[in-house]
Amino acid sequence: MTAAPRPLRVAVIGGGPGGLYSAALLKRLDPAREVTVWERNAPDDTFGFGVVLSDETLGGIEHADPVVHAAMKDEFVRWDDIDIVHRGVCQTSGGHGFAALGRRRLLQILHERCRSLGIELRFSTEAPHPARLMKAYDLVIAADGVRSTAREAYAQVFRPTVEEHRCRYIWLAADFAFDAFRFEIAETEHGVMQLHGYPYAADASTVIVEMREEVWRAAGFDESETAETIERCAKIFTDALGGRPLRSNNSTWTTFRTVVNARWSHDNLVLLGDAAHTAHFSIGSGTKLAVEDALALAACLEEHASLRDALVAYEEERRPVVASTQRAARASLEWFEDLRLHLDQPARQFAFNLLTRSRRVTHDNLRLRDARFTEAVEEEFGCPPGTPPMFTPFRLRGLTLRNRVVVSPMDMYSAVDGVPGDFHLVHLGARALGGAGLVMTEMVCVSAEGRITPGCAGLYTGRQAEAWRRITDFVHAQAPGTAIGVQLGHSGRKGSTKLMWEGMDEPLEEGNWPLVAASPLPYKPGSQTPRELTRAQLTDIREQFASAACRAARSGFDLLELHCAHGYLLSGFLSPLTNRRTDAYGGSLAGRLRFPLEVLDAVRAVWPEERPMTVRISATDWAEGGTTAEEAVEIARAFAAHGADAIDVSTGQVVAEEQPQFGRSYQTPYADRIRQETGIPVIAVGAISSWDDVNSLILAGCTDLCALARPHLYDPHWTLHAAAEQGYSGPGAVWPAPYRAGSRRPQTGRTDAPKPRLALGG
């Protein structure tokens, strides 16, 4: 790279808040810099109306440029409340702390600051091609928005992914100030519509109207002129607006586009703000992210001797923050896309669900903000006073669980000839003593050929059943009130592999056994190709499941789960990616369901009537052409119709080429959808790592139970510790008598908070 270590000539493409603020910061930090901003629009042209910023972002601005902060502070409208209006009832939650100002006024403040610093602002002027700027300037900042021409000029380097979503929305304004951030739901003859409104001046509010694409078309908005659109929106939300009109500012209906880039810089060109990433407006982070990008970029340029190192550091610092924000934004936008699923919830629970939709506001966080509202939601849910939602009981058939925590099935690969030993006794016994309402075994295989690895446990011999009885007896005697469940499964095409720590999903080097599956498809290149099951073999395997269920009942298990997920045998029948059969057990969803339902029927017939059964499914394969969310709902309905008492909703691990969208609680929306559309109890899994997450999901009505795996590997007493940390003692979390002395959280040493990261001088 030939650019100067500390760039002296800086070109900024785009005169939005991010571009202008980065220009001002760089010029302020080095007055000798020559900084030029190109903006294709005129100074007073802007789109949208109000901008919302957090206190955290404002703190960064104050440290970096007190002049800009002071000017903004004088203009801010502040409020604490969120109003959620649904079916004529308004629920109000306080303590949220918003600050907003008009976008036009924000730009004016930044224009004035840039001019005072000597920055050249070129309005109504298209920037030269990035290649020309990169030759003429030391640093080129592309802050030219979601449709960035600079990004597209080097698309082969930045490798952008742009995803359009399912809702249409329009930015409008009203000439009065809402007294809270307002969400209002309208159930029209065409479908559900929603209003997002907030004040940005003493006499003005932003109003965003949003709805699904199909609702937008059914309502005829696709053929409406702007004036008609504005009038109709005002009429639909006349109660929210108090009968007042709406106005536009170059407003048009659009769909939100999520932008992700593989890289953010190329030579001396760097992306900033919406050019680099976008986050849905429902969490109010667009301008916030752009301003924070500018702060980080300026800091990194100060801290690193070379431009290359500075741009690498900028991306390394910002990418994790942006990724977290985008995950929250995706959760929020998808919640609004599927708003119809939650309309029948009780009023307060609906409001709580909306407030916690992005998973950034949680039960504990909301309690700090507004204890009265949170307690009202808990009371409506049925929590006894002082009882967190996770410690309320839940009943499945004849089994009452004392709390909502499940130790998720985790393969231990530590059995010998399928027999669980001392390790399993200690492993499962410790977690039962740890307070969970239900402790699940690993997948217990129904035959030797149905094992995943040589270390997998089974229930296909009497010796194995006796060993399991030893474990269930311990749990029932030493951890009374804790239930223990068994998960039955068959590996299918994912069997005959090494122990996880020796090479997960890698074929055994010796001692292999033949595999069977719905279709003769290897799991991945190099894997063994299974034989397609014949009708006679299907009957044999069905009987193996039934025999294992009989042994499980005699072994004293309280609950049985049928494993129809993660690409194992029964899952392989359900997914169109792994079931290519042309007989009655393939093709349509009904055909693909046929064998798993036959197995469920056989197991239910021999499993004691009073004991519950659950079924674990993969609700999506995370791969094109795989199981859809709509099919997952129908699969759940079918299993429930055949006797399943709850659906354990996992995802993926069906095909090796999957592309999961990992993140905190990333699988829970699939459980939520099944629960809302079918009314069937569900168990949510997938990166649920804190008791706050469990409380939030339970209280929002997204799930009935939460299954956690890795947290219980880290801490066998996770549930009891969650109770101690929340100050709860009651029937939902009973400490074993020998452990009661440890029921208080130990004292810890003092730690001092770090000073602000981005302090760029006075």
The residues near 467 (Cβ < 8 Å, ≥ 6 apart) are: 419, 420, 421, 424
The residues near 23 (Cβ < 8 Å, ≥ 6 apart) are: 10, 12, 35, 37, 114, 119, 141
| Neighbouring-strand partners of residue 186 | 193
> For strand 265-266 and strand 269-271, is the pairing parallel, antiparallel, or unpaired?
antiparallel
Q: C-alpha angle 377/378/383, rounded to 5°?
A: 155
CA atoms within 13 A on the CB side of 754: 4
Active site residue 568: yes
| Neighbouring-strand partners of residue 174 | 205
| Cβ neighbours, 10 Å, residue 577 | 20
CB 71 within 8 A of CB 45: no
CB 710 within 8 A of CB 666: no
Rounded distance between C-alpha atoms, residue 598 and residue 604, angstroms: 10
* CA distances, 138 to each of 35, 114, 269, 545 (Å): 10, 19, 9, 69
| Interhelix angle 691-699/371-381, nearest 10 degrees | 60
**Closest alpha carbon to 260 in 242, 243, 280, 274:** 274
Structure tokens at 670: 């699939």
Rounded distance between C-alpha atoms, residue 599 and residue 489, angstroms: 11
Rounded distance between C-alpha atoms, residue 76 and residue 98, angstroms: 9
> For strand 559-564 and strand 483-489, is the pairing parallel, antiparallel, or unpaired?
parallel
Side chain identity, residue 418: G
Sequence length of the chain is 762
C-alpha dihedral, 434 to 438 to 443 to 446, nearest 10°? 130
> Per the residue annotation, which of 198, 568, 585, 670 is the catalytic one?
568
Please give the full DSSP string across 659-671, using - where no structure is assigned: -----TTTTHHHH
- Residue where the block lists tokens 């075994």: 441
Which residues are the active-site residues?
568
